[in-house]
Chains A and B, each alone.
Chain A
């Protein structure tokens, strides 16, 4: 009994008629990392919300160190020693405050601390917390000026610093680079050794392999399998989560057509190597690299958001100079941006409204929208991509992350285009949805060039015919997926090969 930090017994939860959790029982042992896996809509997030006091359970009980635990607010959970890093990064930080205040936020809400703050002391303490994470940051910097990865690190650092008894990490690596993720894993190792029970939710197999002591798979609101002992049965866990086993993706050979988009001597920074790239029709090209390698910049240049320092682009042989996003879309260059919550989803709209947004002109006559046309399109996209919903009129917010992502991708697949850019299309998306999206993108890709920006090599291998590696704003490698040398590619991604040597 005592080696379980937390026991969840027959917990149920329903939203209206939708039963999200049915008779869920599991335990979190002390000093072990329990990985929770599940497709989107399996109920992972709901379980986390119940554990950290955001929502109450309808039935069942939770025992914390043997005592009944029923938090009525996130504050209760925090006091009981359950600390959560949520998936949505912006829930974890206050952008208008500096790093110090963010790291010590819990201290500020603690009623026992005094009325006035000693900034010097606070900065010192914050530096200590950051140093423990090997997290290099100016603690006086405002969080608003930091990137996604840094924000995520702050949220995690804060959770770590508050001496949790149970730490819940919901997709913590989704915006971290490999190096940062490794730092996080080291810290998790450390916490595990000091006896903290850790619940780790992730879709990334590489994370799971690195960190898991136990795996609990969830499917359709129930626990579909618990895996313990060494070696862990990863295949079994994935099978339990999906209900059927997923074979490795076999890429059907796509026919490479004419050049659709050519980049000539594009420079992303003053000292950067000029980038020369060609995206061909019928081909899926993946561009990968670490955070800061210039991926996002390149994507925004192609989509007309920013201008390159120098160089030119050609679309079907003609000069392509998009000055706005609208320009790019008119030219037939579509982009599904990364980080859907801030760049994609219109929270006030339903599925249909979200899908048709860029092409309202086609869905209207004399500017007056036709709801019939939109509905028809939405229904067909919902069924081709397998979006799990009650109807195409559901609010976008009621969908799980993977299904929201499908809606975002559907937005840009509804119309043929010349170049389709997908920036991190698999962020926070489970394997099932990822393969659905991937196969649909490949199936429809004959008439256009598809460029996918991903930081996970696994994801690139699954979807692309050709993979290009960026490092420090320059191209350092390129290989075709079917005869890839992974060791070389890993070295290129981490910048261990000088640029230019392996090109071609």
Chain B
């Protein structure tokens, strides 16, 4: 058995370094940014990362099987437009809208998976193609315009449907907790999905097999794992979670805004990759992904409260990502593994 004393400082640094950095950041902003410490601000951080976080959890699943999903951002915006179209133009209720989005997400994931598994298209290329296709597809029904009540449709008539109240509830309702109207629905959803994905990947046998596939696909296959099915499942999870993100975005905005969600892909991929560094995992993992998303959220919230301009945000995210990747690949021995 391992002895407690045998752990060197470096091991500890790799394991807890990123969490310490996060704690340090929180302390720093609490001291120097007025109003940072407090439940409202904390909830705001969570809210700001909920949608990216959910997408990032999806992309984590594809990373686990050694894949990649570039289409998540466009799946989310497609879900945004689709839900708006279903309610505003087709005048359906919230349930139909949500269902349509989830089915769309699952379908896109299925097609991605089939392209990769059956057609042998490399994952990056297949999902890149899908990303393009969806960005275009979501604009065709409305000829490139955003969707809102009262808009003029291509046929000439006016769209009379509205976003239903119960749909908007998903994005805007806040539950009471200690304070009135504190926790928004997206945050709850983010936490629930986070726990579910974590349980699935870390504790279930399916997750274990997915990690095995990501580590040595041939060996996993020869141990009896149905590789194709697990890979397709990973892309379907990714697609469905991306569509959930899109639904939340639509419910928050209340209109089918064609220009929203541009940053979703990069932000969520960054969160998943930052997650590699958490607890020295050096591999995709759900807990790390959630922490990665929060890390970016805390940093941006704090900097914003200290009046740093909005255009520095991407720079900061990029810097955090690079530091996290150095953590993962240069410092931890697992990152360097591969020799004998």
Which one of B38-46, B148-156, B215-223, B319-327 is at the A interface? B215-223
- Residues B205 and A364 in contact, CB atoms below 8 Å apart: yes
B22 CB to closest chain A CB, in angstroms? 25
Tell me the bound Cα distance from A403 to B2 in angstroms: 20
**B199 interface contact, C-beta 8 A:** yes
Whether A342 contacts B218 by the Cβ 8 Å rule is: yes
| A-side contacts of B340, CB under 8 Å | 45, 87-88, 397, 401
How many residues of A are in contact with the other chain, CB < 8 A?
Answer: 39
Contact B205 A347 (CB under 8 A): no
Question: Which parts of A386-426 form the interface with B (CB within 8 Å)?
Answer: 390-391, 395, 397, 401, 411
A201 to chain B, nearest CB (A): 13
Task: Give the secondary structure class of B's interface.
Answer: helix
Contact with B along A349-365 (1 / 0, CB 8 A): 10001000110110110
Give the nearest-CB partner of B204 in chain A: A367
B338 lies within 8 A of A347 (CB): yes
Known A348-B211, A391-B1, A397-B337; judge A343-B222 contact (CB<8 A). yes
Residue of B nearest to A374 (CB): B208
A45 — which chain B residues lie within 8 A by C-beta?
Answer: 340
CA distance A401 to B63 in the complex (A): 29
Contacting A at CB under 8 A, from B95-114, are none
From B206, B212, B224, give the contact of A346 (CB < 8 A): B212
Picked from A325, A369, A397, the residue with its CB within 8 Å of the CB of B222 is A325
Picked from A17, A358, A390, A395, the residue with its CB within 8 Å of the CB of B224 is A358
CA distance A6 to B2 in the complex (A): 38
Closest A residue to B207 by beta carbon equals A369
Bound form: Cα–Cα A139–B253 in Å: 62
The docked-state distance in angstroms from the alpha carbon of A380 to that of B340 is 26
Interface residues of A in 64-106 (CB under 8 A from B): 87-88
Beta-carbon contact of B1 and A361 below 8 Å: no
The residue from A347, A348, A369 contacting B204, defined by CB atoms under 8 A apart: A369
- Indicate if B209 sits at the interface (CB-CB under 8 A): yes
Contact with A along B308-340 (1 / 0, CB 8 A): 000000000000000000000000001001111
Instruction: Output the least CB separation between B66 and chain A (Å).
Output: 10
Cβ B337 vs Cβ A357 within 8 A: no
Residues of A within 8 A of B209 (CB): 357, 360
Of the four ranges (under 10, 10 to 19, 20 to 34, 35 or more), the interface on chain B belongs to: 20 to 34
Q: Are B224 and A345 in contact (CB under 8 A)?
A: no
Establish whether residues B219 and A344, one from each chain, have CB atoms under 8 Å apart when the complex forms: yes
- CA of A215 to CA of B225, assembled, Å: 45
Chain B residue contacts of A348, Cβ below 8 A = 211, 214-215, 283, 334
B222 with A335: CB separation less than 8 A:
yes
Q: Does B307 interact with chain A (Cβ within 8 Å)?
A: no
Scoring A residues 314 to 334 as 1 if CB is less than 8 Å from chain B, else 0, what string do you get?
000000000011101100000
Indicate if the CB atoms of B215 and A349 lie closer than 8 Å.
Answer: yes
**A337 with B205, Cβ < 8 A, contacts A346-B212, A348-B211 known:** no
Q: How far is the CB of A498 from chain B (nearest CB, A)?
A: 36
User: Within 8 Å CB of B220, what residues of A?
Assistant: 346, 357
Per-position 1/0 for B190-233, Cβ under 8 A of A: 00000000010001111011011011101111111110000000
**Does any Cβ of B come within 8 Å of A1's Cβ?**
no
| Contact indicator B221/A361 (Cβ below 8 Å) | no
B338 CB, nearest partner CB in chain A, Å:
7
A249-287: CB near B (< 8 Å → 1, else 0) gives 000000000000000000000000000000000000000
Spell out B's residues near A (CB within 8 Å). Answer: 1-2, 6, 199, 203-206, 208-209, 211-212, 214-216, 218-226, 283, 334, 337-340
A-B contacts, 9 listed (Cβ < 8 Å): A343-B222, A344-B219, A346-B219, A348-B214, A360-B205, A364-B204, A369-B203, A369-B205, A390-B2
Which 6 residue pairs spanning A and B have beta carbons closest together?
A360-B205, A348-B215, A358-B223, A329-B224, A326-B224, A357-B223
